[in-house]
Structure formats: structure tokens, C-alpha cells
Amino acid sequence: MELDPVIHAQARLRITAALSTLDPEESITFPRLQELLDMTAGNLSTHLRKLEDAGYVTVDKSHQGRTPVTYLALSRAGRRAFEDYMDTLRSVLGETS
């Protein structure tokens, strides 16, 4: 059993854990996630890019009036990967589901 290296980095684990609390059809704005996780914009962007490249996070950019807004959510693959990660972690720790 191997923990997913994309999720395993502390910052990316925090991001996926936070996004997993949303319903599958929900998303959160970049500034709100940044505030929740107390991360710098640059750090959050870097880790989101790795998660997006892996297909775990969807990034939707739109506008509210003239203001750009970025919405973030776990993709179906990301939700599955996070669930698998947690199952593997429980196994490693000797817990049963």
C-alpha cells in the first residue's frame, strides 16, 4: 500500500481535505479557500496547479461584473483519490473502516 504522492504533501492534503467537505456539485472561491487554509496566494496556487495537473481539482474562472473570480472543487477523480488515500492511511494505521 502506497499513499498517493500527489495528495500526501501536507499543503495538498489540507486542500483536498477542505474541498472534500463540499458537496460534489459545490465549489469554493480561491480567496475563501486561501482564508480557510491560511496560505499565501502563491503557495496555494502552486499546490492547486499540481492537483489540477493530476486531474484532482477543477478550476473554473469567471467574472462577477468586471471582477475575475476563480472557483475550485474536487473532481470526481479527486474525490475518489482522496477517499482511497484516507482508506490507505487507515490501513497503514491499523484501523478498520
pLDDT tens digits, one per residue of 51-95: 999 999 999 999 989 999 999 999 999 999 999 999 999 998 887
pLDDT tens digits, one per residue of 11-52: 999 999 999 999 999 999 999 999 999 999 999 999 999 999
Q: For the chain, list the domains and their CATH numbers.
A: 5-89 (1.10.10.10)
Q: Are 37 and 15 in contact (CB under 8 A)?
A: yes
Q: Are 41 and 34 in contact (CB under 8 A)?
A: yes
**pTM reported for the whole predicted model:** 0.91
Q: How confident is the model at residue 96 (pLDDT cuts 50, 70, 90)?
A: low
Above 60 in pLDDT, residue 97?
no
